[in-house]
Amino acid sequence: MRKVLIIYGGNSKNSRLYGVHQRIDKYLVENNYDHSSLFVCDLPPEALIKGDFQDPEILKAHKQVEDAEMIIILTPVFKSTFSGILKAYLDLLPEKVFDRKTILPFAMGGTNSHILMIDYALKPLISYLGSKNILKGGFIHNSQVEKINIDEYLIGDQAEERITCELDRLEVYGFKALY
C-alpha cells in the first residue's frame, strides 16, 4: 500500500482550507490509503522563522516527508502566492526530498485570478525539491467551502467534483510514475 502525506500549509485549522483537508482525508480513508497529515501550523514557529534545521519537531516532520511516496500539498493563496508558513517549512526541507514522489497540489483562494498560482509559484518549488511527477492539482474558490459549525464544512458541488477528480488522478498517475 502506498503511503500518502498531506502537508497542510494553512495558518490554522480554523479555516475553510481545513474543510478541504477533511474532504481529502475522508477520500483517502474511503479508498484505503495509508496516510497521515503534517500540519505546518503545529510546528514550532521559532524554528520555522529562524530556519532551525536541527529542531526535533522539524526533523520529525522531515521524516514524515521522507517516508511518504505521494504528497498532497494544501495551501491558501495570499497575495497571489502560497502561504508564508508553507514556504518557511519547504525552505527547511533537504534538497531533492521530493525525488521519486508524486505530488498533488491544492490551493484555495478568494478570486479566480489566483488559479495560476499553482503553476507559476508552487510547482517550480516542488520541482526544485526533486519531484518529476507533479500532478495538475486543483484550485478551490473560497466561496465553494462553507463553515457549518466549529469542525464541520460544506463543500460545494464544483469543489467536490474538482477534489474528487484530482484525487482519482492520484490513484492512476501516482502509482504509474516513471522513474
pLDDT tens column, 72-106:
999 999 888 999 999 999 999 999 999 999 999 99
Segment among 65-74, 106-115, 127-136 with least mean pLDDT: 106-115
Cα 141 to the center of its chain, rounded Å: 16
Question: What is the rounded average pLDDT of the residues 4-9?
Answer: 98
Query: Is the pLDDT confidence value at 27 over 60?
Result: yes
Query: Could you tell me the three cell numbers for 76?
Result: 491558501
Cβ atoms within 10 Å, residue 178: 5
3-class DSSP state for residue 149? strand
Place domain 3-174 in its CATH homologous superfamily: Flavodoxin domain (3.40.50.360)
Cα-based distances in Å from 146 to 51, 77, 156: 35, 17, 8
pLDDT at 1: 60
Query: Is the pLDDT confidence value at 179 over 50?
Result: no
Question: What is the rounded average pLDDT of the residues 21-31?
Answer: 96
What is the overall mean pLDDT for the chain? 93
Question: What is the rounded average pLDDT of the residues 158-163?
Answer: 96
Q: Name 46's Cβ contacts closer than 8 Å, sequence gap at least 6.
A: 52
Question: What is the rounded average pLDDT of the residues 2-24?
Answer: 95
| Phi, psi (degrees; rounded to nearest 5) at 121 | -120, -50
Contact present, 106 and 40 (Cβ < 8 Å): no
